[in-house]
Amino acid sequence: MREMRIGALIIGLVWAGFWTWFGLASGVSEGLDVIGVIIHTSIPGLLFLGTIAVAWKWGLVGGVLLILEGLIVAVGYPLMVSGKFSFSTVFFVLLTMALPPLILGVLLYKASNRKGEL
């Protein structure tokens, strides 16, 4: 189970790191001011990195938080952009923003639950 936990955390760092970089690069390329770039980077990138940090310390809690984040994105994003983007765009965002935390959350939950840790 240790390998599953470590693997999930590494994948989570790569995934959250990507979204942090993407937010930063998007904010800079859009010519936003410093506050705009910080907001663009923080949501979702730094939020995701924070959740991975929680999962690193407390696997079960982090796993549950990741599952909740994935569900919020899976439900909230399509509602938020309804009629604004094509189906393929919404589907791609769900594959890259909702599916990874759901999978990582389940892996961390299973790995932590078997060890009996919080």
Which residues, 6+ apart, have CB-to-CB distance to 97 below 8 Å? Answer: 19, 44, 73, 77
Q: State the residue range of the domain holding 97.
A: 2-115
Distance CA 22, CA 27 (A): 8
User: How many domains does the chain fold into?
Assistant: 1
Per-residue pLDDT in tens (0 to 9) along the chain, 118 residues: 789 999 999 999 999 999 999 999 999 999 999 999 999 899 889 999 999 999 999 999 999 999 999 999 999 999 999 999 999 999 999 999 999 999 999 999 999 876 555 5
Residue 44 DSSP code: I
pTM, rounded to two decimals: 0.88
